């Protein structure tokens, strides 16, 4: 249910792939992400400037504040209320907020 609500909040409404959402980051850069269903799982397709990475959603522990997390084991995207996005890829750690959809 949470994944559905998040998908609706970022504008995933049609079966066609939506354009990526642009998130403005604290370091002045941008993070582009779009969300899709693959094999009955919500996947975040994220481009941090080095090409797209498909990250499957991870189970929520059910404790503490709601956080949605996608990860491929190397890269992690975490969403928290207020549309705060955190991207981690090795030593890269970026905090981003909602930008404009293109």
3-state helix/strand/coil string of the chain: CHHHHHHHHCCCCCCCCCCCEEEEECCCCEEEEEEEEECCEEEEEEECCCCEEEEEECCCCCCCCCCEEEECCCEEEEEECCCEEEEEECCEEEEEEEEEEC
Residue-level pLDDT at 98: 65
Low-confidence ranges of the chain (pLDDT < 50): 1-14, 100-102
Residue 71 has what pLDDT?
Answer: 94
pTM of the model: 0.69
């Amino acid at each position: 249910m949470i994944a559905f609500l998040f998908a609706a909040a970022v504008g995933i409404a049609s079966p066609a792939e939506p354009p990526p959402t642009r998130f403005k980051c604290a370091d002045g850069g941008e993070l582009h992400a779009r969300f899709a269903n693959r094999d009955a799982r919500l996947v975040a397709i994220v481009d941090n400037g080095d090409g797209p990475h498909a990250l499957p959603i991870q189970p929520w522990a059910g404790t503490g504040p709601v956080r949605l997390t996608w990860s491929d084991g190397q890269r992690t995207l975490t969403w928290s209320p207020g549309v705060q996005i955190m991207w981690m890829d090795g030593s890269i750690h970026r905090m981003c907020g909602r930008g404009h959809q293109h």
